[in-house]
Every structure is written in structure tokens, then in C-alpha cells.
Amino acid sequence: MIKATFWDFGGVLTTGPFDAFKKFEQDHNLPENFIRMINATNSDTNAWARLERNEINLKEFDRAFEQETRLAGHPIRGLQVLELIAGDLRSDMVEVLRRCKQHFRTACLTNNIDFGNKPDNRLTGERSVEFRKVMKLFDYVIESSKVGVRKPDPRFYEMACEIVKVAPHQVVFLDDLGINLKPARAMGMTTIKVTDPRRAINELEDVLGIEFT
């Protein structure tokens, strides 16, 4: 019996960054999927992973990412890429989250970045204010930048289950990346890969026995 819904944020409740990556690559004459390739190389120890665990700050990430991309033949400043990741809220998914909150415990499991709260930070602003409003819909928020562990490390999911006080088989988890869903599924969670939001909502309806539309 499902007792909790676990949600990724970027790529599930918002549009993912991959279209923005693709446009950046086209505009800068970069190889297709170059940024995703950089982030997938040494995926647990690269600049992106260390930033999401809050092991390095933004300035250190900017330099480290530039070094990684330079070694791969196409130097890119890290802060340039961070400006691409925000995405836009998916109102239909946010409404489903609201409905789920009426019946189940809700938790956000997010690999995220500590941008700080400085008012002059150009990486924050109105969009992040709207995102924080959605974050308040969750009963629990587990952030990689705060706990020092990130998906797909199984410890992240174990920690989430402990915090929410559920067993893995009592959870349905939505994420847009298969690599993040695989360990959750191995633990016993029901998983839904969000590529098309409408299809994902239909799958969630089947799992929960609730109609959202």
C-alpha cells in the first residue's frame, strides 16, 4: 500500500534543462550532448557532483567545470551552464502534487545547488521565488546540497525513507532520469520515469487509484 509520493523537482515539476543545453550547444558550435557528456563523466566526483553535495562553492565550480570542459576540447565557464538549468513550472504536475498531498505524505528528493540568498545574485530572482512556493507544498524536502549525498547514491533514498518514516515498498517515486530511478526500484519503490508529463500522470493514477483529471 502506497503511503508516500517522492518527487524529483527539476525535470518533473519543471521542464528539464536538456533543451536549454541543446540550444546553448548549437549557439556555441559545440558537439551535440556535450554538456550531458561532461556531467556523466566521473559522475560521482566531477565538478557538478561536488557542487550538488555542497563540497565546492560557485566560484570553485566555475573554475572546475571550465577545466573539465577545456580538457574535453571545448572550454565553458560553469556559471554559464548554471544559468540554463532553471526550467519552467509545469502547472499540471504541480496540481497533481497538491492532490497527492491530500492523501499521501509528500517528499521532494532533489539534487540541487546552494545559490545563496544574496539579492544581487543573478542566478536567483522571481523564478526561484515561485519555485519556493511549490517547495512549501511538500511535507519533507531532502536536498543534496544540505545532506551531502546525491541521487543515485542509495544512501540518499535510505535517508529519505527514514525521514518520511516509510518503507521503500510504500513509496512511488517520480524522476526524469532512469539512472536515479534504478536504485530506488531495486530497493522496492514503485518508480515512474517522467518524460511526457501526461503519460506520467496517467501512470501515477494507475498506481494510486486516483483520477487527477
CATH number reported for the structural domain that contains residue 67 in this entry:
1.10.150
Mean pLDDT of the chain: 93
pLDDT at 175: 98
Residue 120 has pLDDT above 50, yes or no: no
pLDDT at 114: 85
Task: State the DSSP code for 111.
Answer: -
Q: Which amino acid makes up residue 45?
A: T
Query: Residue 204 is placed in which grid cell?
Result: 501515477
pTM for the whole thing?
Answer: 0.89
Residue range of the domain that includes 130: 4-16+87-208
Cβ(3)–Cβ(170) under 8 Å? yes
* Rounded-to-integer distance, Cα 52 and Cα 40, Å: 14
Domain final position from 32, 62, 82? 82
Instruction: Quote the number of domains for the chain.
Output: 2
Cell numbers 502547472 label which residue? Answer: 91
Do 94 and 10 lie in one domain? The reply is yes
**Quick one: average pLDDT of 17-23?**
92
% of the chain beyond a pLDDT of 90: 85
Query: Residue 91 is placed in which grid cell?
Result: 502547472
Cβ(174)–Cβ(204) under 8 Å? yes
Long-range contacts of 49-57 (CB under 8 A, 24+ apart): 49/150, 51/78, 51/113, 52/111, 52/112, 52/113, 52/144, 52/145, 52/150, 53/144, 53/145, 53/148, 53/149, 53/150, 54/114, 54/144, 54/145, 54/146, 54/148, 55/148
Model confidence over 7-19: pLDDT tens digits? 999 999 999 889 8
3-class SS of residue 10: coil
Do 37 and 117 lie in one domain? The reply is no
Do 94 and 133 lie in one domain? The reply is yes
Model confidence over 139-167: pLDDT tens digits? 999 999 999 999 999 999 999 999 999 99
